[in-house]
A and B are shown apart, each in its own frame.
Chain A
Amino acid sequence: MSAGLPTVLAAATPEHGGPVHYAAASGAFSLTWLLIVLPLAGAAVLLLGGRRTDRFGHIVGTLAAAASFVVGLVVFFALVGKNGDERAFSQHLFAWVPVNDFQVDVGLLVDQLSIVFVLLITGVGTLIHIYSIGYMAHDPNRRKFFAYMNLFLASMLLLVLGNNFLVLYAGWELVGLSSFLLIKFWEYKPAAATAANKAFYMNRVGDVGLALAIMFMFATLGSTNYDDVFTAAAGGVLGYGILTAIALLLLLGACGKSGQFPLQAWLPDAMEGPTPISALIHAATMVTAGVYLIARAAPIFNETQAARTVVLIIGAVTLVIGCVIGCAYDDIKKVLAYSTVSQIGYMFLAVGLGPAGYALGIAHLLAHGFFKAGLFLGSGSVIHAMKDEQDMRKYGGLWKYMKVTWVTFGLGYLAIIGLPPFSGFFTKDKIIETAFAKGGTSGTIYGLVALLGAGITAFYMTRLFLMTFHGKPRWESTSRIGSADPAGTPEGENAQHPHESPATMTLPMIVLAVGSVAAGALFIVGGTLSDFLAPVLGHHAGEHHGLDPWVVTLLTLVVSVGGLAGAFLRYQVRPVAAVAPTDAEVSPLTVAARHDLYANTFNEAAFMIPGNYLTRFLVWFDKIIVDGLVGGTAAAIGGLSGRLRRTQTGYVRTYALSMLGGTILVIGALLLVRVG
């Protein structure tokens, strides 16, 4: 675990080293800027056009996203046409900060890693734009929603396409802004407004880490360009301590954006935003920016074992936390949110494993992008059908009423719990296998934790699936009056009429479901994705310690099926109560999980309350000490002058006397000097 400094340096330099250089962009690659500009233009038109664009705003937004996706495809195929090692193109756009020694240019970098993200962002983004046309159809501010979504796409593309850390940081902050705007889209709901603020504050903590890392780079290297920084990192120019500090600060940034322990608490609250946003930003793309950052900074993390260990621990802790809490919630979106936290934990675990895991982390990220976006869209479809009801205990038996949602959600569900041949099976199984292959006690521990996570994931996802789509209906329905209540209640406020969603909503769900099924096999079998990404993320020798891959696969399957069976017995064979059992009736662990494992309580006790006291103290200090000093000086001078004023009597003789006195004094002084 704690490899000494010399060992790390010796082991690291020859394999991953070598200067990093990017070719100048030409041909199709000079179109890269269009990727960002198209959605940005869409956002500008919709925001500046105001209410005039209300009627066609959603179409403009969707077309901008789709056009960006088409450009992404063009660039992707142009890239595939090149040889493996020549697939990195840098495009210089303009000088951003030309200050003497400090030169930062805005430039874009197209390589295997960024193009994969571009396709995910624009592809899933376009699908979710289409979905939102239906989902937001009745919202008076639909145009604004599309404007913000376009803004998000542009920011996220800037984040993944930047060719230096400062451009990445700009994108990083802009996605934070779009995320904030979209979480509080229904800002008249106090919960949404609070959640947006919470997301913003907790992201700020991470962003400070990223900013400090960039300052470190500039202070030590004078440059934030990827090629300069990575060449220096691989060449051993930076000391081990500096590298570790940079890596840990980058990790702090990644934890903030990706909702990883200890900054995970904002992500579940962010579900107050509209469901398409939960799917796009808080499941598929933005929250995976942390994984992108670590994979992008692979040359730095390769050199520092200590930072990688921290990544591993954070990944392992988060994936368990997410799973455990996911079992306790009844709110369908909260469960999915904690599931996201947990799955990103898997990705962190993967990228923490170093060169062996980067590509696996990215593969899981892409597969997760498909199935989690699909699951969220499915949940949105259910929520839409159930009059905005989000409590799973008030669902049940919905499969009969919304068949398309049921099937697409079911495919996404099978993908996340990792049953073959769905995508989650390939990507998650590989991560668990690689964790075991790390060797030693630590490898076994990480492997077991990941295995345990897979079991719990199967449990809570099965619970969610069964509670929503199967079992007896637990909602009031006009068509079931006879069975629910013999006396027959008149059609009440709470009566539900579940119905399938319109085609604009089901179509993206179908596409994403197909993706959830196919993605894993496509990426993993034959090492397609890892070979494609190898020039960026480094080649992996493929050595194995520990368990045989087949044993791991079998174990994963057994554990997953065990979790599934447990949930089946608990939530299908036995009826589900329509009202959640009280805290007294459930185990202490469930109570803790219902309270987010006391993460919010801890944050309040450790940061919020002391922060409040600090603020109060500062206000007191400002009022009493600072204002007292200033006000006191003014009062003293005022009082003194009030007394001095009394000497001005207005009588001529007073002045005459003072003149005489003065004269006598002067003469006396003269005499004293002359004579004395």
Chain B
Amino acid sequence: MNPANYLVLSGLLFAIGSVGVLVRRNAIVVFMCVELMLNAVNLSLVTFSRIHGNLEGQVIAFFVMVVAAAEVVIGLAIILTIFRTRRSASIDDVNLLKY
């Protein structure tokens, strides 16, 4: 199978993820879209690793997964805290840092 197809899939997943981050208001959905973007990157890393025949891409993909796991823990904790105080999971309500 042509490895370029995986790259196309990776690009599609990344685009879907970024559009989701930009347009959705629900914090959980936004968060899942971020995960989608991370995994799209992982896919392209592994693909390039395969194309070039070395392992560095796969090593970096593992790093990304570890960091993403840690990030999920912290991100979900933040979202949970916001939800507890504001009774809302909409990220547009969290806009106190404006002008």
Contacts and interface: CB of A to CB of B under 8 A. Distances in A.
A and B part of one assembly: yes
A653 B96 contact: no
A497 B99 CA distance: 87
Most buried by A among B18, B92, B94, B99: B99
Interface in B46-99: 91-92, 94-99
Contacts of B23: 653
B18 A660 contact: yes
Given A651-B92, A652-B91, A652-B94, A657 B22 contact: yes
B33 to A, nearest CB: 10
Contacts of A650: 94-99
Contact of A653 (B22, B98, B99): B22
B69 to A, nearest CB: 22
Interface string B1-27: 000000000000000001001110000
Contacts, number: 31
Interface stretch (A229-237, A608-616, A641-649): A641-649
Interface string A641-675: 00001101111110011001000000000000000
Contacts of B97: 648, 650
Contact of B95 (A646, A649, A657, A660): A649
Contact of A656 (B21, B95, B98, B99): B21
Given A651-B92, A652-B94, A653-B91, A646 B99 contact: yes
A651 B95 contact: yes
Nearest to A657: B22
Contacts of A651: 91-92, 95, 98
A646 B30 CA distance: 25
A133 B23 CA distance: 100
A645 B91 contact: no
B47 to A, nearest CB: 18
Interface in A447-472: none
A639 to B, nearest CB: 14
Contacts of A649: 95, 98-99
A648 B22 contact: no
A interface secondary structure, majority? helix
Contacts of B91: 651-653
A648 B92 contact: no
A656 B30 CA distance: 11
Nearest to B24: A653
A660 B20 CA distance: 13
A651 B18 CA distance: 16
Nearest to B25: A653
A264 to B, nearest CB: 70
Nearest to A649: B98
A651 B23 CA distance: 11
A94 B22 CA distance: 85
B27 to A, nearest CB: 9
Contacts of A657: 22
Interface string A457-500: 00000000000000000000000000000000000000000000
A653 B94 CA distance: 11
Contacts of A645: 99
A646 B22 CA distance: 20
A656 B99 CA distance: 17
A650 B95 CA distance: 4
Nearest to B18: A660
Contacts of A646: 99
B22 A660 contact: yes
A19 to B, nearest CB: 83
Most buried by B among A653, A657, A660: A653
A657 B23 CA distance: 10
A180 B76 CA distance: 85
B20 to A, nearest CB: 11
Nearest to B95: A650
Contacts of B99: 645-646, 648-650
Interface in A64-81: none
A649 B97 CA distance: 8
A188 B73 CA distance: 85
A329 B89 CA distance: 100
A660 B18 CA distance: 8
B50 to A, nearest CB: 23
A382 B18 CA distance: 108
A650 B96 CA distance: 6
Contacts of B98: 648-651
A648 B92 CA distance: 13
A126 B21 CA distance: 101
A653 B21 contact: yes
B92 to A, nearest CB: 6
Contacts of B92: 651, 653
A646 to B, nearest CB: 6
A653 B20 CA distance: 10
Nearest to B27: A652
B44 to A, nearest CB: 14
Interface string A616-646: 0000000000000000000000000000011
Contacts of A656: 21-22
Interface string A195-210: 0000000000000000
A513 to B, nearest CB: 91
Nearest to A645: B99
A651 B30 CA distance: 13
B49 to A, nearest CB: 21
B96 to A, nearest CB: 6
A441 B95 CA distance: 100
A645 B23 CA distance: 23
Contacts of B22: 653, 656-657, 660
Given A650-B95, A651-B95, 8 more contacts: A646-B99, A648-B97, A648-B98, A650-B94, A650-B98, A650-B99, A653-B91, A656-B22
7 contacts: A648-B98, A651-B91, A652-B91, A656-B21, A656-B22, A660-B18, A660-B22
8 closest pairs, A vs B, by CB? Answer: A650-B98, A650-B95, A645-B99, A648-B99, A652-B91, A650-B97, A653-B22, A649-B98
